[in-house]
Amino acid sequence: MDPRQRPLLHRRLGVFKALAWSLVAVLILIYAWLQLVRHGEFKQLAMQQAVKVRPIAAPRGLVLDRNGYRLVDNRRALHLVIQREDLPSRPEVVEALAQALDLDPASLARKIQSYRFAGKGRPLVLKENLDESGIALAERVRARFSFLSVDVAPRRVYLGDELAGHVLGYVGEVDDELMKAKPGVFRLGETIGKEGFEASGNDKLKGVDGQKRILVDQLGTEVANFGQTDAAPGRSLYLTLDAGLQKVMQDAYGEEAGAAVVLDLRDGGILAMYSSPSYDPNLFLNRLSQDMVDRYLNNPTRPMVNRAIQGIYAPGSTFKLLVALAGLEKGVITPQTVIYCAGKKNFYGRDFRCDKPTGHGGLSLVQAIAQSCDVYFYEVASRLDVDDIYATAEKYGLTERTGIDLPREKRTRIPSRAWKRKAVPKDPKWYAGETISVGIGQGAVGVTPIGLARFYATLATRGKLLTPHLFYGFRGDQTNALEPGPVPPAKETPLDPRMWAVLDEGLHEVVQSGTAAANPFIREVAREAPFVGKTGTAQVATFVDKSHYARQAKHLKDHALFAGYAPHDRPQIAFAVVVENAGFGSTAAAPIAAKLVKYWFVDRLKNPLPPPRGRMVDPFAPAPEVAE
């Protein structure tokens, strides 16, 4: 090598050494920066890949009747799920998974997509409430799809089956429409009340979800628990219902359709409410088959409709008490007013017939109520304006919703001139002849059973307009005793004592000597537990005479009604009973009311009502030992 080249080579070698050491220094600095400065950040990222947060579903509160008997409970259930961070993205994987689980591929893809871009929530449930065969299927499918897991979650159980289906309702997963309607209120996958008290009392019953942090390996298998925050269960609560009275009401209806309500006159608590046909809420906890959809959702008998608060019925003769009250308050009649019934009477060129073709003869108001004389109330209505009847109904709460703590209550329909202008714009004029039909609870009049029950409760309490309600109070977490809830306020609409006395006497005579007195069972119950009420028969279709009516199909028969209160001297309960297409109120509805009265005042161990808002007796406590 030329000696003159050596300095150049040494300089170049020095440069390379400097570059090499600089590179090493840079690498050391980067390593140090990564290990020392950003150690926590990278550790957190690594842990996020290995440590998963799993939500723990909070069980909803239990629901008990007023005596402490469980109506709704929780059970442990297993669900096949996909955690949100494990949602598959490849279409062929989604389709294969759907085929393995016998699910619709398009529906599953949409569900996965909605979960992928949603906020924090529960895992996507693929199969609910796994039984032994379901667990076996889940294990087979998990062998192919490692991102699947089996979660333990609480499952709602309705212990009475169809006993109080419409009252209790059912729960289900929150849907996209509700999440869009109330943004930020619900989380994807959350279980909420869908119908009945489960829906209206959702905020009382729902708990607060917990979570656990687990370490998983590369296959997603849990290998360690990094701690958890337990779920806080929802509060258990009491309803005003009495399960025994509810069962009597259910049995009394049998296969007949209709609805009945019994109110506690002290505070407006609903002691029993039944809508027939009913449904079993347990069936709606799983995805419905087409057969179940047809049986319940597409059924012409409408078993999903709560007839007690959503059924609109012509009240028939039960409405005559409102017409009598309007006549008394407007001064067009007095308690002593006598009107002659010849079996029919002509108004405005048309004959309006009484149910008794031969006529009742001369009747006072008490006798007209007892015998349910149509001609008497045709005449009273002819002396009133329809707006007078509406004003009286408005005064005593019959034109508004009752305010019950259940969703989707319908408003009663009491006609007026203003109502017809809005309802029938093609023929907005109110005709005087229409008022005649309103006088006997026909025509455009329509009431809900709960609205009718509240009106008779107003009569029984001499003017107290109660707010029907189901919520009774919470169950104490430590003592299991009742912690009373607030009583919905009542509105005072005092009745003139003289007017009340004549209406009360008329209702008493209905059972003693009038339209309900021919039934021996009613007479027997009235001797043990005196009750009063008014029969009603609401026409569904027109007919020529009784022989023609007898040939009518079942769905064209009249609706039967009975409304009243008991006991007569010091009323404790008010009730309304509607039986669809069953004929006369005296033969179909009044016997059901008598069964309710008999259970409450005779068969229920002849004990007085437990004090409302007081400490509940434990129904499962052992009987006290008797000293020998």
**Residues above pLDDT 90, as percent of the chain:** 56
Could you give the CA distance from residue 264 to residue 278 in angstroms, rounded to a whole number?
A: 23
pLDDT interval class at 526 (50, 70, 90): very high
222-267 pLDDT per residue, tens: 666 777 888 889 999 999 999 999 999 999 999 999 999 999 999 9
Q: What is the pTM of this model?
A: 0.85
Could you give the CA distance from residue 76 to residue 286 in angstroms, rounded to a whole number?
A: 15
User: Per the structure block, which two tokens stand in for 535?
Assistant: 């029969």
List the single range of 96-110, 538-552, 605-619 with lowest mean pLDDT: 605-619
CA 542 to chain centre: 34
386-418 pLDDT per residue, tens: 999 999 999 999 999 999 999 999 999 999 999
**Residues above pLDDT 70, as percent of the chain:** 86
Query: What mean pLDDT, rounded, does the chain reach?
Result: 86
| Residue 602: C-alpha distances to residues 280, 349, 528, 597, 599 (Å) | 30, 52, 7, 8, 5
User: Per the structure block, which two tokens stand in for 143?
Assistant: 């062998």
410-434 pLDDT per residue, tens: 999 999 999 999 999 999 999 999 9
pLDDT of residue 50: 61
The conformation of residue 85, written as its DSSP 8-state character, comes to G
Model confidence at 546: pLDDT above 60: no
Pairing mode, strands 464-465 and 344-347? unpaired
Model confidence at 22: pLDDT above 60: yes
Burial class (CB in 10 A: 0-12, 13-18, 19+), 422: exposed
Could you give the CA distance from residue 263 to residue 31 in angstroms, rounded to a whole number?
A: 78
Model confidence at 617: pLDDT above 50: no
Q: 406: closest CA among 437, 448, 370, 376?
A: 448
Question: Buried (b) or exposed (e) across 192-209, using 16+ Cβ within 10 A?
Answer: bbbbbbbbbbbebbbbeb
List the single range of 147-161, 366-380, 544-558, 562-576 with lowest mean pLDDT: 544-558
Average pLDDT over residues 305-313: 97
Which is higher by pLDDT, 82 or 319? 319
Which is higher by pLDDT, 612 or 261? 261
pLDDT of residue 628: 37
The conformation of residue 464, written as its DSSP 8-state character, comes to E
pLDDT interval class at 43 (50, 70, 90): low
